[in-house]
Amino acid sequence: MAEISGKGKHISPRVDLTPMVDLNLLLVTFFMFTSQLQASKAMEVAMPFNKPGHTAATTEEEVLNIYLSGSETVRYIEGDPLRPDNLLVTSSWEPDGLRSVLVHKQQALQALISKGVLSARSQLTVLIRPDSNCTTAQVVRALDEMAITAVPVYMITDMHPEDYQRLSQQFVHP
């Protein structure tokens, strides 16, 4: 082989990455603007406005307490939760389950309003009380039932120790 002699320096190739950064920025911007954003799957929950000095008065006929646990049954108390004699149980997610309980309670409330026993501003108030064994899916199903039956006022609250004691008693089937 022939040997090339020369005094020239060996120059290594140099790659300028500045245009690559610009191209990546343009591509990211393009895909952000052209991609469709996923719609939110959250359920809108309207929270009551708390005015100072204003108390919400509800009667016993307007209140329905729903107790959710790990089982497929829903326990509920119509009216005063301190009376253990009105603890009822229903199948949770069947057509004649929680939805029929809510519809029946709304109809009973409307009947009391039409008779003049309750004021025209009376509305059903549902307290959803999940225990530590309750799954998120059961709470979401209960919230779906509130939306389907158009319950005007509902809230999720914690269970108290007396609730656990009350629920350990024998159930009354409707």
Residue-wise pLDDT for 126-161, tens only, equals 989 888 888 888 888 888 888 888 888 888 888 878
Report pLDDT digits (tens) over 20-79: 888 999 999 998 888 877 766 666 665 555 666 555 567 777 888 888 887 878 888 887
Report yes or no on 8 lying in a domain: no
Task: Let me know if residue 172 belongs to a domain.
Answer: no
Give me 58's structure tokens: 């509800």
Q: Which residue is associated with the tokens 């919400």?
A: 56
Total domains in the chain come to 1
Beta bridge partners of 68: 74, 130
Asked, for residue 109, whether it belongs to a domain, the answer is yes
Assess if residue 30 is contained within a domain: no
Tell me, yes or no, whether 79 lies in a domain.
yes
- Sign for the pseudo-dihedral over CA of 148, 76, 45, 36: negative
Q: Are 160 and 74 in contact (CB under 8 A)?
A: no
Structural domain including 112 reads 61-167
User: Domain containing 125 — which CATH number?
Assistant: 3.30.420
Residue 15 within any structural domain of the chain: no
